[in-house]
């Protein structure tokens, strides 16, 4: 369980994180979403005790993370896969971390196997691709078998196979009852991974709710209908209480479900070429919600 | 590379109750970090050879020139101790030690590894101390091998002119200990500067400035200036590795032996205290 309470971080006059409160519960994969510069990484660093908040608190399993003398058994974190020394081998990197926390050395081989890096364990990290470094970072997070896992942009640089693997891993970790918190600036990454969402923009909370509620709340569900008899159908549907928006050769209908529209058309002998229920994609929902809080907007006067 | 989705549970089979946080685990971790870099054995080996080599060359020069020295010089052979601990070799040793002490820290800041380290060990002060102990121990060994090696080789050469000194001669043992310890003292200064400055180039420049350039600002002819000069590490090393100097008089001030040992102790202590303060206060 991660609890963030009225967390604020200011750098000089600039507020990176602004009075942020949310809770991340165990047993779920929770996505931490926001445009670039929204304050995600700063928030994660404060949760991990690396940065001191200007105000507010962040606790992991009820206590500030910094109060633990050793951390790996409490939280596993991947903040940035590049935060390794290129001159060391994967095995040495993990061994030093394991030993510092009194974790048996054989655990290193276990996590390397888990992330599929056994064959390159003795190779210098400097020669790893970003995807391999991400796997190494995930291995680091798993070392202490912790109840809470935090990943900052874990999917960056991974090939499609890696993405599939890592999604499966996150689900499995959550199913084991762990708290899994992962950040991303891309909604599409969350769509198939997260159950819960925490969305922020310009350091402020925009939404904290289950993914499906987020999608439902923010999407206008409509039905797209294509027919050669537009005028007749518009009259019928409007009479039935729907709102119809003509859109090129299609009609977008809101206020009636697809089944009802189909029945009405059939009863009135109106030919339909297409009848599609349209839900706004999560990406669209996310874009609309965060449009006001995007830090760096291309092509806008600054 | 293909992903292997293993069937084994993510939960480690070896999971046990959390053991107490032990400082020696941190020492072991820092030692793994240091020895797992290929540059470490190379740097340590080469600098040791360089120091011993510089003493060899100094002794060879006096060996070759010996017949041309005055009878008094030949009898006193004041050069013998200087040949064992020549400034060319030991100044280089101090520069390499201060740089490597700094790199042990700034390489973690440069790559961001320090964040991984601090998440693994939120007790930041303990990380600083563990690094300091490992760096000091490694450089103490390098210093001891270099100092005993350069003393042994140089005196073996000078023995051919019957101009060798023994380690039991006045000042010889003190000179050897001071020459061995100058390496860990400088490495710890580098470590402290690393935690303070956190950038590779700036830290190395600051280390070289502190050790080599700063003493040149102060003369030995005025009291206050001489006192500042005496508080420098290399001045202290020079004093401790010299058998005899004329006593202080107005216009010429010499540091005492005790003063010089205190300088050896205070610099690394201040460096570690500064490191402990800044790492606790700052965001990582």
Across the range B106-111, mean pLDDT stands at: 94
Residue B82 lies in a domain: yes
pLDDT at B3 over 60: no
More confident residue, B227 or B48: B48
The pLDDT of residue A302:
42
Residue from the list B15, B33, B111 with its beta carbon closest to the beta carbon of A145: B15
Residues of A in contact with B114 (CB under 8 A): 83
Rounded CA separation A50/A47 (Å): 8
Cβ–Cβ of B32/A71 closer than 8 Å? no
Q: Whose CA is closest to A285, among A178, A183, A213, A181?
A: A213
Across the range B258-273, mean pLDDT stands at: 97
- Residues 6 or more apart whose Cβ sits within 8 Å of residue A158: A130, A131, A134, A166
Inter-chain Cβ pairs, chain A and chain B, closer than 8 A: 145
The pLDDT of residue B18:
80
Distance of CA A32 to the CA centre of its chain: 5
Residues of B in contact with A106 (CB under 8 A): 14
B7 interfaces chain A, CB cutoff of 8 Å: no
pLDDT at A92 over 50: yes
B128 Cα to chain A: minimum distance (Å)? 13
Residue B169 lies in a domain: yes
Residue B3 lies in a domain: no
Residue B270 lies in a domain: yes
B126 interfaces chain A, CB cutoff of 8 Å: yes
Q: Whose CA is closest to A163, among A178, A174, A151?
A: A151
The pLDDT of residue A294:
64
Residue from the list A65, A118, A176 with its beta carbon closest to the beta carbon of B122: A65
Range of the domain at B146: 20-281
Quick one: DSSP state of residue B85?
Answer: S
Cβ–Cβ of B12/A110 closer than 8 Å? yes
Report the phi/psi class of residue B214: left, alpha or beta, with left for phi > 0 and alpha for psi in -120 to 50. Answer: alpha
The pLDDT of residue B103:
95
The pLDDT of residue B170:
87
pLDDT at B149 over 80: yes
Which helix or strand (DSSP H or E) is residue B92 part of?
Answer: helix B87-111
Residue B275 lies in a domain: yes
Across the range B141-164, mean pLDDT stands at: 96
Instruction: Note the pLDDT tens digit of each residue in B203-253.
Output: 999 999 999 999 989 987 888 899 999 999 999 999 999 987 778 888 888
The pLDDT of residue B89:
96
pLDDT at B107 over 50: yes
Instruction: Note the pLDDT tens digit of each residue in A3-41.
Output: 999 999 999 889 999 999 999 999 999 999 988 889 999
Disruptive mutation site among B116, B125, B126 for chain A (greatest number of A CBs within 10 Å) = B116
Residue from the list A51, A87, A113 with its beta carbon closest to the beta carbon of B39: A87
Residue from the list B13, B107, B119 with its beta carbon closest to the beta carbon of A71: B119
Average pLDDT, chain A: 90
Do residues A211 and A48 lie in contact, with contact meaning Cβ atoms separated by under 8 Å? Answer: no
Rounded CA separation B117/B132 (Å): 15
Residue entry with tokens 């480690």: B12
Across the range A33-59, mean pLDDT stands at: 95
Residue from the list B8, B10, B21 with its beta carbon closest to the beta carbon of A173: B10
Cβ–Cβ of B5/A168 closer than 8 Å? yes
pLDDT at B121 over 60: yes
Number of separate domains in chain B = 1
The pLDDT of residue A215:
72
The pLDDT of residue B252:
84
B23 interfaces chain A, CB cutoff of 8 Å: no
Q: Provide the Cα torsion B72, B77, B79, B83; round to 10°.
A: 160
pLDDT at B183 over 80: yes
Residue B56 lies in a domain: yes
Residue B9 lies in a domain: no
Per residue, the 3-state secondary structure of chain A, as one string, reads CEEEEEEEEEECCEEEEEEEEEEECCCCEEEEECCCCCCHHHHHHHHCCCCCCCEEEEEECCECHHHCCCCCCCEEEECCCCCCCCCCEHHHHHHHHHHHCCCCCHHHHHHHHHCCCHHHCCCEHHHCCHHHHHHHHHHHHHCCCCCEEEEECCCCCCCHHHHHHHHHHHHHHHHCCCEEEEEECCHHHHHCCCCEEEEEECCEEEEEEEHHHHHHHHCCCEEEEECCCHHHHHHHHHHCCCEEEEECCEEEEECCCHHHHHHHHHHCCCCCCEEEEECCCHHHHHHHHHHHHCCCCCCCCC
% residues pLDDT > 70 (chain B): 94
Interface pTM, i.e. ipTM: 0.88
- Residues 6 or more apart whose Cβ sits within 8 Å of residue A285: A187, A214, A215, A217, A218, A219
pLDDT at A291 over 80: no
Rounded CA separation B104/B80 (Å): 36
Average pLDDT, chain B: 92
Instruction: Note the pLDDT tens digit of each residue in A102-114.
Output: 999 999 999 999 9
Which helix or strand (DSSP H or E) is residue B243 part of?
Answer: none
pLDDT tier, B8 (very low <50, low <70, confident <90, very high otherwise) = very low
Do residues A186 and A276 lie in contact, with contact meaning Cβ atoms separated by under 8 Å? Answer: no
**For A145, nearest residue in chain B (alpha carbons):** B11
Residue B111 lies in a domain: yes
Length of chain A: 302
Rounded CA separation A189/B73 (Å): 82
Cβ–Cβ of A77/B119 closer than 8 Å? yes
Which residues 89-108 of B are in CB contact (within 8 Å) with A?
A: 107-108
Disruptive mutation site among A102, A157, A174 for chain B (greatest number of B CBs within 10 Å) = A102
What's the Cα-to-Cα distance from B68 to each of B72, B226, B252, rounded to whole Å? 11, 36, 31
Handedness of CA B67, B68, B73, B78 (dihedral sign): negative
The pLDDT of residue A293:
65
More confident residue, B246 or B28: B28
Across the range A184-191, mean pLDDT stands at: 82
């Amino acid at each position: 369980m991660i609890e963030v309470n009225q967390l604020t971080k200011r750098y000089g006059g600039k507020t990176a994180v602004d009075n942020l409160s949310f809770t991340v519960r165990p047993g779920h994969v929770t996505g931490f979403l926001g445009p670039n510069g929204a304050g995600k990484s700063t928030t994660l660093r404060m949760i991990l005790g690396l940065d001191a908040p200007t105000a507010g608190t962040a606790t992991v399993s009820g206590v500030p993370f910094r109060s633990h003398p050793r951390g790996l058994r409490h939280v596993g974190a991947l903040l940035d896969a590049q935060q390794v020394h290129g001159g060391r081998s994967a095995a040495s990197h993990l061994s030093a971390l394991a030993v510092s926390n009194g974790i048996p050395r054989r655990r290193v081989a276990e996590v390397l196997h888990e992330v599929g890096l056994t064959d390159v364990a003795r190779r210098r990290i400097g020669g790893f691709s970003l995807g391999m470094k991400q796997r190494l970072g995930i291995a680091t997070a798993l070392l202490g078998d912790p109840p809470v896992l935090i990943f900052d942009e874990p999917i960056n640089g991974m090939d499609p196979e890696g993405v599939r693997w890592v999604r499966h891993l996150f689900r499995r970790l959550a199913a084991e009852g762990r708290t899994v918190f992962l950040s991303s600036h891309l909604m599409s990454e969350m769509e198939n991974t997260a159950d819960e969402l925490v969305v922020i923009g310009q350091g402020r909370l925009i939404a904290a709710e289950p993914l499906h509620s987020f999608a439902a709340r923010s999407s206008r569900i409509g039905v797209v209908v294509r027919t050669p008899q537009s005028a007749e159908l518009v009259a019928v549907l409007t009479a039935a209480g729907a709102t119809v928006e003509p859109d090129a050769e299609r009609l977008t209908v809101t206020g009636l479900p697809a089944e009802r529209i189909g029945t009405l058309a059939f009863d009135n002998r109106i030919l339909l070429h297409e009848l599609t229920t349209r839900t706004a994609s999560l990406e669209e929902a996310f874009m609309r919600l965060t449009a006001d809080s995007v830090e760096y907007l291309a092509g806008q006067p600054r | 590379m293909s992903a292997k989705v293993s069937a084994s549970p993510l939960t480690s089979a070896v999971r046990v109750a959390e053991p107490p946080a032990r400082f020696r685990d941190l020492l072991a971790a820092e030692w793994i970090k240091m020895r797992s870099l290929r540059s470490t054995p190379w740097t340590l080996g080469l600098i040791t050879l360089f120091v011993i080599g510089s003493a060899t060359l100094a002794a060879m020069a006096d060996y070759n020139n010996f017949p041309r020295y005055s009878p008094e010089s030949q009898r006193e052979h004041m050069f013998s101790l200087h040949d064992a601990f020549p400034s060319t070799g030991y100044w280089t040793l101090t520069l390499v030690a201060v740089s490597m002490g700094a790199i042990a820290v700034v390489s973690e800041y440069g790559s961001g590894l320090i964040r991984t380290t601090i998440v693994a060990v939120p007790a930041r002060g303990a990380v600083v101390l563990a690094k300091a102990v490992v760096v000091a121990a490694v450089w103490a060994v390098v210093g001891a091998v270099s100092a005993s090696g350069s003393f042994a080789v140089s005196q073996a050469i000078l023995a051919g002119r019957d101009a060798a000194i023994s380690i039991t001669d006045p000042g010889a043992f003190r000179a050897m200990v001071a020459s061995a310890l100058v390496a860990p003292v400088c490495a710890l200064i580098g470590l402290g500067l690393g935690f303070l400055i956190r950038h590779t180039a700036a830290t190395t420049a600051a280390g070289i400035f502190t050790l080599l350039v700063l003493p040149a600002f102060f003369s030995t002819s005025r009291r206050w200036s001489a006192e500042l000069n005496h508080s420098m590490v290399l001045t202290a090393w020079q004093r401790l590795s010299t058998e005899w100097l004329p006593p202080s008089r107005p216009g010429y001030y010499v540091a005492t032996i005790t003063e010089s040992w205190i300088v050896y102790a205070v610099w690394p202590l201040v460096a570690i205290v500064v490191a402990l303060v800044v790492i606790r206060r700052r965001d990582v």
